[in-house]
Amino acid sequence: MKEVLILGEVKDASLDPRILELLGAGKKLTEASGDKLSVLLMGDRVEDVAEAAASYGPDSVYKIEHPLLERFNADLWLAALEQACAEIKPSILLMSHSFIGMELGPRLAYRLDSRLTTDCIDLTIDSEDGRLLGTKPVSGGNAICVFKCAGQTQMVTVRGNVFPPAESGNAGGAIASINVTIDKSMSRLESLEIVEEDTVALDKANVVISGGAGLGDEDGFEMLEELAEALGKSFGSVMVGCSRMAVDKGWMSSDHQIGLTGTIIAPDIYVAVGISGAIQHLVGMVHSKKIIAINTDPSCNIFKVADYGIVEDFEQVVPALIKRLEEVL
Ligand SMILES: Cc1cc2nc3c(=O)[nH]c(=O)nc-3n(C[C@H](O)[C@H](O)[C@H](O)COP(=O)(O)OP(=O)(O)OC[C@H]3O[C@@H](n4cnc5c(N)ncnc54)[C@H](O)[C@@H]3O)c2cc1C
């Protein structure tokens, strides 16, 4: 039987949420093909994380535990991953399009004499030859292309917030250990300094309110901040995002940008204010559970994906919304 293997990342000794999305993607593939689905975890001690991963229904969870794998070290992780692939012989290897996936993916593909498709937004199996088809945006997002890779192990990195996460509660898969031979001489890393950045975690927010060129100037974003504060009383984490136009105009910093070249998000509620809905913006928010759009142009694209649309000047709508929220909350 063929095997689809997921490289699971461990964050702060727990399961990185991205693994659940990879499990969602892996289940979609193996349900179609009948292949085995497994997860590989690496670290100094990953027993608890392996048990957590097993509860999401893969057929098996492999763990590689070694003191030298305590922190991410590309050379050592690559050596361990290569040895694990030699043992498991997966037909497909799924990795997150994270800095770990982007660092390990190309180097492992070279070592396995295989090919890698990066940043996939969809995965399917070719019904004719059973090989993996990876879909990804190309030419700066102006086209979408489907790739089929040669090689015994077909490898992809998968964009975050695209696949629905797997749900727990399925029968636990078996946990097996894999022994690897690694030592310090394999690492060319001289020093590692971890800098905690004060980044905007838009992809973790329950509600995102985004502003675009239609706000007219940066003062419009103050109004959105007030709306975020009012909604924050009942929705937990509420953050303000923006379109690229708002970044280009200098109204917001680029870490607030939603879209193809910004952050991809799927919050419970997305509010688009003065945003036309260009394809590069939609790619970043179309998986939001409920989309509300406020725009003066009834024919604009954003209304095609919105669950609720308000055709009105935002300066009329947003203060009225804030007032109403303050009355009822
Ligand atoms: C390679 C590439 C990558 C890109 N990546 C991204 C990306 O990641 N994210 C992104 O957002 N864009 C991206 N873009 C840019 C994208 O193509 C659009 O130009 C951009 O999204 C438009 O931003 P906008 O909707 O704010 O502005 P506009 O398209 O100008 O829309 C403004 C909207 O505001 C409405 N409006 C005007 N006045 C009001 C008012 N008073 N009240 C309510 N509504 C009003 C208008 O009707 C209009 O629909 C990218 C482009 C390229 C080529």
Q: Is the pLDDT of residue 103 over 90?
A: yes
Mean pLDDT across 281-310: 96
Q: Which atom of ligand 1 is nearest to the CA of 242?
A: 11
Best of 203, 245, 258 for a ligand 1 pocket test (most atoms within 8 Å of beta carbon) = 245
Model pLDDT for residues 222-233, shown as the tens digit of each residue: 999 999 999 998
What pLDDT score does 190 carry?
A: 85
The residue whose CA has the least distance to atom 11 of ligand 1 is 243
297: Cβ below 6 Å to ligand 1? yes
Burial class from Cβ neighbours inside 10 Å (0-12, 13-18, 19+) for residue 172 reads: middle
194 has a pLDDT exceeding 90: no
Going by the DSSP 8-state scheme, the letter that residue 151 receives in this structure is: S
- pLDDT-based confidence at residue 311 (cuts at 50, 70, 90): very high
Q: What is the C-alpha separation between 317 and 327, in angstroms, rounded?
A: 15
- pLDDT for 118 equals 95
The stretches of 7-126 forming alpha helices (DSSP H) are 17-33, 47-54, 74-88, 99-111
**Percent of the chain scoring above 70 in pLDDT:** 97
Where does 202-328 sit in CATH, by number?
Answer: 3.40.50.1220
pLDDT score, position 151: 84
Residues of the chain with CATH 3.40.50.620: 3-186
Strand partners, 157: 95
**CA terminus-to-terminus distance, the chain:** 56
Q: What number is the average pLDDT over the span 45-59?
A: 93
CB 217, CB 202: distance < 8 Å? no
Lowest mean pLDDT among 12-21, 172-181, 214-223, 230-239: 12-21
| Ligand 1 pocket member 314 (CB < 6 A) | yes
Q: What's the confidence (pLDDT) of residue 164?
A: 87
Q: Which residue is listed with tokens 């927010």? A: 205
Cα–Cα distance for residue pair 134/117, rounded to 1 Å: 7
**Exposure of 90 in the CB half-sphere (CA atoms within 13 A):** 30
Confidence (pLDDT) at 200: 66
pTM greater than 0.75 (yes/no): no
Task: Please choose from 275, 312, 314 the residue to mutate so as to test ligand 1's pocket, defined by most ligand atoms within 8 A of CB.
Answer: 275
Residue 244 near ligand 1, beta carbon < 6 Å: yes
Cα separation, 272 vs 255, whole angstroms: 17
Instruction: List the structure tokens of 82.
Output: 């290569």
**What average pLDDT score do residues 94-116 get?**
95
For residue 193, the number of C-alpha atoms closer than 13 Å in the C-beta half-sphere is: 2
For residue 139, the model assigns a pLDDT of 80
Burial of 49-62, coded b for 16+ CB within 10 Å and e otherwise, reads: bbebbbbbbbbbbb
Question: Which tokens sit at 21?
Answer: 């999305």
Chain mean pLDDT for the chain = 92
Nearest CA among 228, 325, 213, 237 for reference residue 271: 228
32 pLDDT more than 90: no
47 confidence band (pLDDT: 50, 70, 90)? very high
Residues carrying CATH 3.40.50.1220, the chain = 202-328
Select from 243, 262, 58 the least CA-distant residue to 159. Answer: 262
Q: What is the dihedral of CA 51, 52, 56, 60, to 10 degrees?
A: -30
The Cα 196–Cα 71 span in angstroms is 15
Mean pLDDT of 81-88: 98
| Minimum CA distance residue for ligand 1 atom 26 | 212
Q: How confident is the model at residue 198 (pLDDT cuts 50, 70, 90)?
A: low
The Cα–Cα gap between 208 and 79 comes to: 40
Q: Would the pLDDT of 69 be above 90?
A: yes
Decide whether any atom of ligand 1 lies within 6 Å of the 108 Cβ: no
Check: CB of residue 64 under 8 Å from CB of residue 40.
yes
Q: Is the pLDDT score of 144 beyond 90?
A: no
Cβ–ligand 1 distance for 212 under 6 Å, the answer yes
pLDDT higher than threshold 80 for residue 197: no
Predicted local distance difference test score (pLDDT) of residue 142: 73
Q: Which CATH superfamily is domain 3-186 in?
A: HUPs (3.40.50.620)
State the Cα–Cα distance between residues 63 and 327, nearest whole angstrom. Answer: 54
Q: How far apart are CA 218 and CA 232, in angstroms?
A: 21
Report the nearest-CA residue for atom 29 of ligand 1: 276
Least confident window among 187-191, 290-294, 298-302: 187-191
Q: What is the mean pLDDT of residues 8-27?
A: 89
Mutate to test the pocket of ligand 1, among 296, 301, 302, 312 (most ligand atoms within 8 A of CB): 296
